[in-house]
Amino acid sequence: MPRFYCNQPLEIGLRIALPEAVAHHVQVLRLREGEIINLFNGLGGEYNAVLTAVERRRAEVELKTFSPREAEPGHAIALAQALPEGAKMDWIVEKAVELARQPYNRWSRSVRWCASMPNAPRKRPRTGKA
């Protein structure tokens, strides 16, 4: 079931027009009248809503039920990123913070991870003879 952020006051029984960006997603997903979607506004929980009108640039829903379910992950996410060129690091930090909403820790040391392959052929040491 598709889940969308809707920055509006939500309550059971309310009929609302979806924001333009959400209506666009409804169009892209080819959802039709009568289908159920989930809406949340960041204040806790989510609402099941039925699409009552779907037009080219507009969609309306009726909010049916409320669920106190929180969809945030129950565990922390860690991102390890090699140092990129130029201003790409700023963009990576920005997106990492937006997606994870976790503090970003920058490592000042170089970290290397070497795993030996148990079945890899081993080179014989050189003896110095030609």
Count other Cβ atoms within 10 Å, centred on residue 34.
Answer: 9
Q: What does the pLDDT look like over 25-79, one tens digit per residue? A: 999 999 999 999 999 888 888 999 999 999 988 999 999 999 888 776 566 667 7
Rounded Cα–Cα distance for residues 109 and 128 (Å) = 38
Token pair for residue 24? 């666009």
Q: What does the pLDDT look like over 99-124, one tens digit per residue? A: 665 555 665 555 555 555 555 555 55
Count other Cβ atoms within 10 Å, centred on residue 111.
Answer: 7
pTM over 0.85: no
Among 2.160.10.10, 3.40.50.720, 3.30.830.10, 2.40.240.20, name the CATH number for the domain at 3-67.
2.40.240.20
Domain positions in the chain are 3-67, 73-108
Rounded Cα–Cα distance for residues 30 and 37 (Å) = 12
Q: Exposed, middle or buried by CB within 10 Å (0-12, 13-18, 19+), for 95?
A: exposed
